[in-house]
Amino acid sequence: MKTIEQIASELQGYDPAALRADAVNQFLARLVEPLRETESVGVFDALGRVLAADLISPISVPPHDNSAMDGYAFAGSQLRSGQALTLRVIGTAYAGAAWQGEVAAGECVKIMTGAVMPAGLDTVVPVELTRLDGERVTLAADSLRAGDNRRLLGEDLMAGQPALRAGTRLGPAALGLIASLGLATVTVRRRVKVAFFSTGNEILSLGEAAREGAVYDSNRYTLFGLLSRLGVEPIDLGAVRDDPASLEAAFRRAGSQADVVITSGGVSVGEADHTKAIMRQLGDMAFWRIAMRPGRPMAVGRLRQDGGSALLFGLPGNPVAVMVTFLAFVRPALLRLMGASDSAPLLVPAHSLEPMRKKPGRTEFQRGIASRGADGRLRVRGTGSQGSGVLRSMAEANCLIRLDHDQGDVAIGDIVDLMLFDGLI
């Protein structure tokens, strides 16, 4: 396991006092190793979990040639270019049971969607492309080709092939795929445990009486939502006063029961508190001033525990900065810890509906509202004030507008990158 100093030495131009935002994720990719422990869970409990090993299909899907639609099955070799074809209907094939019998030339079988193709038949004509007269059905000339509307055995997946790869985060479609293979359980990485608490003497918990100079804690509730959506096990340790004994006890308690510890507040340069001192005392830590807005101060490292360690993320205290640093850095790191093969947030291009001021030399994450224009193109506008304490703006936004480190001012119509909240939060 590499130390913080060893990881820092691997990054060209590493400067903790002026760290580029893209270097943060490079650093974290070296710091975070996927958990190895696995467990077997039922399909209904697998949503959002990460597959621990390649899932090999025990069967072929579909398990037999079958009809892709309601129609009439026949041997496609009877089709002739420019000629209509009339066939006698000799039976009906239903889904769920193979049709028994032989079909001679000039004959066909009425067939339902999903029904097994009768032996010797390879083509299905949809009902709407036929004319039925008693027991005879006629196909118009050149209405289809041999092999049309037949789903082949193993067309989706052959037995013995990987159905899903290790590292896949299981979504609704994956659950359906697993069930379609007849599998009742699946092996996934164990759930990551994340303990979190807020620091500061000015923080009030819900239920406490208001007092001058104090504010109600919002960060814990935001983090709870972000962590719950991610699929980890959140452990709320409340608000912790800014005194050494309370902080040390909170860090030790968090590290003893979690894989990751997240704090908010107490990591800015010059803050009159003890949070950073306790972090240094108990862990191998880096304290950064990131070239970004919002969310400049951040701490990261490992909290030493008997027999192991927990990852530690010290986030800023401002509510918007907490969300931005979590989405930009902590979420990808947690996905990596969970064993997910794809952890980077998806960036989507959109046209700006308004000018945006931006200084080169820092990455900015502005709150935005994305919409679809009459021309079908994605467009975005800001939510107004971009102050790091304006949590209401995050509630109104449906995306973050990411303006890269070297980017300057944005004009109306310029392309910008969006981190859409749908799927993130």
The tally of domains found in the chain comes to 4
pLDDT for residue 204: 84
**CATH number, domain containing residue 212:** 3.40.980.10
292 and 174 share a domain? Answer: no
Classify residue 19 as exposed, middle or buried by CB count within 10 Å of its CB (0-12, 13-18, 19+). Answer: buried
Last residue of a domain, one of 287, 309, 338: 338
**Residues spanned by the domain of 286:** 191-338
pLDDT for residue 271: 53
353 and 389 share a domain? Answer: yes
Asked, for residue 407, whether it belongs to a domain, the answer is yes
**CATH number, domain containing residue 412:** 2.40.340.10
Q: Model's pTM, two decimal places? A: 0.88
For 235-270, write each residue's pLDDT tens digit. Answer: 999 999 888 999 999 999 999 999 999 999 888 765
Asked, for residue 4, whether it belongs to a domain, the answer is no
Q: Which residues of the chain are under the pLDDT cut of 70? A: 269-273, 307, 388-389, 424-425
Residue 194, CA atoms < 13 Å, CB-side half-sphere = 29
Residue 103 — left, alpha, or beta (φ > 0 → left; ψ -120 to 50 → alpha)?
beta
143 and 53 share a domain? Answer: no
pLDDT for residue 270: 57
Asked, for residue 390, whether it belongs to a domain, the answer is yes
Tokens, residue 333: 């790191």
Last residue of a domain, one of 338, 360, 384: 338
Asked, for residue 380, whether it belongs to a domain, the answer is yes
361 and 388 share a domain? Answer: yes
Backbone angles phi, psi at 313, to 5 degrees: -120, 120
To 10 degrees, the CA torsion angle through 404, 407, 412, 415?
A: -50
The SS3 assignment for 1 reads: coil
Cα three-residue angle 66-69-70, rounded to 5 degrees: 110
Residue 115 DSSP label? P
pLDDT for residue 205: 85
287 and 379 share a domain? Answer: no
**CATH number, domain containing residue 162:** 3.90.105.10
Asked, for residue 28, whether it belongs to a domain, the answer is no
How many residues in the chain? 425
Considering only CA atoms, which of 221, 220, 223, 222 is closest in space to residue 199?
220
For 274-306, write each residue's pLDDT tens digit. Answer: 888 899 999 999 999 999 999 999 999 999 877
- Identify how many contiguous H helices and E strands the chain contains and give both numbers: 9, 26
pLDDT for residue 206: 87
Asked, for residue 314, whether it belongs to a domain, the answer is yes
Residue 308 DSSP label? E
170 and 98 share a domain? Answer: no
Tokens, residue 422: 């749908």
110 and 171 share a domain? Answer: no
The dihedral built from the CA positions of residue 40, 254, 222 and 4, taken in this order, carries a sign that is negative
